[in-house]
Amino acid sequence: MSDALYLRNGTLLQPASDQQMPGDLLVVHGLVRAMHKGESGALDEEARQCAAEIIDCTGLTVAPGLIDAHVHLREPGQTHKETIATGTSAAAAGGFTTVVAMPNTTPVTDSVKWLRFVQAPERCAAVRVLAMPAATVGSMGQELTDYEALQKAGAVGFTDDGKPVLEDNVMRAALVAAARLGLPISQHAEDTRLTAGASMNAGPVSFRLGLRGMTVEAESGIVERDIRLLEEIEQTERLRPHLHVQHVSTAKALHAIRDAKARGLHVTCEVSPHHIALTDEAIAGEAMQGSVRYDTRFKMNPPLRSAEDRDACIAALLDGTADIIATDHAPHAAWEKNVEFERAPNGIVGLETALGVALRVLQGKHGLSLGRTLALFTSNAAAVLGLRDLGAIATGAPADLVVFDPGAAYRYDVGTSVSRSRNTPFHGAPMLGRIDFTIAGGRVVFRR
Ligand code: NCD
C-alpha cells in the first residue's frame, strides 16, 4: 500500500531565509518527493496517483519539524518518569521530529552498549532520537568516555548534563578529544562547589523565602572558564573546539558568550522556554505566573531567575547570542515532585509547550518574525548539531514537518499531555500556535 502523503494548499515556511510562500508538498517513502511553490493544484495529478492521504493545509503553516537539542527520555532505568516511547510521543505532540537524549539515565549512557539500547527499534520512538552520551565515565567528571567509538555509533556530541565537567584538565581534554572528531562538548554550566544545598535562584526572593540560592556566578563562572579553555586550545593545539552551553539562564553568562562569539570562538548556546516566560517570583507564589508558594512545578536546574535575567535570555534570542531554544524536558513522577520544595527533584516537562511559549513570548510580545522564531527550533538547531539534511523543507530531504496554525491562541491543559509525567509550570498558561499535524520521516506521528 502507498505510504505517500499530499500536503495541499499550505503556507510553506523556510526558517533559515525567513520566507513564506503558498505551496504543496508530496511525500513518498519518508522523503519530500516534490515541492510546488505557488497556487495549489500543480501536483494534483501526480499526487492523486500515489497519495494514501491528502492533508488539507488551508490556513496552516507547514514548517520543518522541530529539533530539540536537550531532552531527558529517562531510558534506561527511570521508566516510571518517562520512556522513549512516551517522551517521543510528547515530542511529536509538540511538533518535534528530532530530539537529542541526555545521558543521565540509570545506568548513565556512557558506552556504545547503552547508546545502542537508546537507539534500538524496541524503544518504539515516534520521532528521530539522537544521543549525546556522557562526556566522562559515569558522568563522574574524571575519565573521558570512548569518544571515537561513540561517534561511530551515532553520538552527536558529549555531555555530563545534570552535572558540569568541573575539573579544568578534564574539560580541556574533553574539548580537545571532541574537536578532533568535529563534535561539540555540551556543558551544564554550574559550579557545584557553589551550589550545594541550593534549590532556587539566589536573590531577594530566596532571601524572603529562607531558601538557599544558586548565584548567577555559579553559572557564569563555568562559562567564562570554558571560554578561556577554548581560547587556549585554539592557540596551542591548532584545533577549533566547539563548546555548546546548555540552558543558559543568566545575563552574566550570556554576556560572556556574546563576547566570545565576537572574538570568533566556536561557542553556541541554548535557552529554555521557561527561562523566557517565568521568574523566581513564581516560587513565592504568584497568580500571574500560575504558581502557589513553594510550588515544585516551578523548580528546575538552572532555576528560574530574576526579571533582568529573563529579559537577557529574551534579548539573546532576539540578537542571535543564543542560537537555539531547547526544552530541557525533564519528567518526574508526581510522587517525586509532591514533597517539600527543597527535597523535590529539579526538572519540568517541556516538549508539548515549547512552541506555544516561544511564539507567545518572542513573536507575540517581542515582534520576532515567525520564520526567525522557528529557526531557533529548526535551521539553527540543525547547524549547532551538524545535521545537514534537517531544519529546512527540501526536495529529497527527510519529510520531517510540522503543520500548525501560528495565530491560534489557547490555554494549555496538562490533561491533554501524552508524556508519562505532568510536572509542568504551564498548566492554564496562554500559548500561541496550535499544532495540527507532525510528520516524522514521512509518517503522521501526531494529529489533532
Ligand atoms: C534534569 C533532570 O531531571 O534530569 N533536571 C533539570 O532540572 N534540568 C537534570 C539537571 O540538569 O539537573
Domains of the chain plus CATH, in order, are 65-392+408-430 (3.20.20.140)
Calculate Rg over the CA atoms of the chain: 21
Cα end-to-end distance, the chain, whole Å: 24
Of 119, 126, 130, which Cα lies nearest the Cα of 418?
Answer: 126
What residues have CB less than 8 Å from 336, skipping those under 6 apart?
81, 344, 345
Contact 352, 410 (CB under 8 A): no
Q: Name all residues whose Cβ lies below 6 A of ligand 1.
A: 72, 104, 161-162, 188, 300-301, 328, 330, 345-347
Minimal-distance CA residue to ligand 1 atom 12: 162
**What's the length of the chain?**
448
431 CA to centre of ligand 1 in angstroms: 24
DSSP state, residue 122: G
* Predicted local confidence at residue 427, as pLDDT: 98
Distance CA 384, CA 194 (A): 29
Q: What's the CA-to-centroid distance between 222 and ligand 1, angstroms? A: 17
Concerning whether 146 is annotated as a catalytic residue, the answer is no
Specify the pLDDT at position 45.
Answer: 86
301 Cα nearest atom in ligand 1: 7
Model pTM? Answer: 0.98
- Ligand 1 centroid–CA 63 distance in Å is 29
pLDDT of residue 51: 87
d(CA 34, CA 44): 11
Assigned C-alpha cell, 244: 555548546
Spell out a b/e string for 425-435, using b for 16 or more CB atoms within 10 Å of the CB, else e: bbbebebbbbb
Residue of 71, 99, 328 to test ligand 1 pocket, by largest number of atoms within 8 Å of CB? 328
Output the average pLDDT for the chain: 97
Distance (Å, rounded) from C-alpha 251 to C-alpha 241? 24
What Cα–Cα distance (Å) separates residue 288 from each residue in 86, 134, 278, 282, 430?
Answer: 30, 38, 10, 8, 11
Q: Say how far apart CA 26 and CA 425 lie, in whole Å.
A: 38
Report percent pLDDT > 90 for the chain: 96
- Gap between the Cα atoms of 427 and 127, Å rounded: 25
Sorted by sequence, the CB contacts under 8 Å of residue 24 that are 6+ apart come out as 6, 7, 8, 9, 10, 35, 36, 40, 41, 42, 43, 47
**What is the DSSP track for 244-284?**
EE-S---HHHHHHHHHHHHTT--EEEEE-HHHHH--GGGGG
Would you place residue 103 in the very low, low, confident or very high pLDDT band (cuts 50, 70, 90)? very high
Say if residue 293 is exposed, middle or buried (CB neighbours under 10 Å; 0-12, 13-18, 19+).
Answer: exposed
Q: Which of 161, 328, 400, 436 is catalytic?
A: 328
Which of 104, 111, 108, 116 is CA-nearest to residue 71?
A: 104
Give the pLDDT confidence of 112-166 residue by residue, as tens digits.
Answer: 999 999 999 999 999 999 999 999 999 999 999 999 999 999 999 999 999 999 9
pLDDT at 1 over 70: no
Mean pLDDT of 189-217: 98
Q: How far is the CA of 62 from the centre of ligand 1 (A)?
A: 32
- Among 140, 157, 368, smallest CA distance to 266 is for 157
Burial of 27 (0-12, 13-18, 19+ CB in 10 A): buried
Mean pLDDT (whole number) for 165-187: 98
Distance from the CA of 65 to the center of ligand 1, in angstroms?
25
Q: Model confidence over 273-322: pLDDT tens digits?
A: 999 999 999 999 999 999 999 999 999 999 999 999 999 999 999 999 99
Identify which of 384, 124, 352 has the alpha carbon closest to the alpha carbon of residue 271: 384
pLDDT digits (tens, 9 = 90+) for 25-59: 999 999 999 999 988 788 888 888 888 899 999 99
pLDDT at 41: 80
Residue to probe by mutation, ligand 1, list 222, 246, 274, 301, most atoms within 8 Å of CB: 301
Residues 6+ apart with CB under 8 A from 419: 82, 86, 87, 89, 90, 329, 331, 349, 351, 352
**Per DSSP, what are the bridge partners of residue 434?**
405
* Closest to 112 (Cα-Cα) out of 83, 147, 77: 147
Cβ within 8 Å of residue 110, ≥6 positions away: 103, 133, 134, 136, 137, 138, 139, 145
H or E element that contains 56: strand 51-56
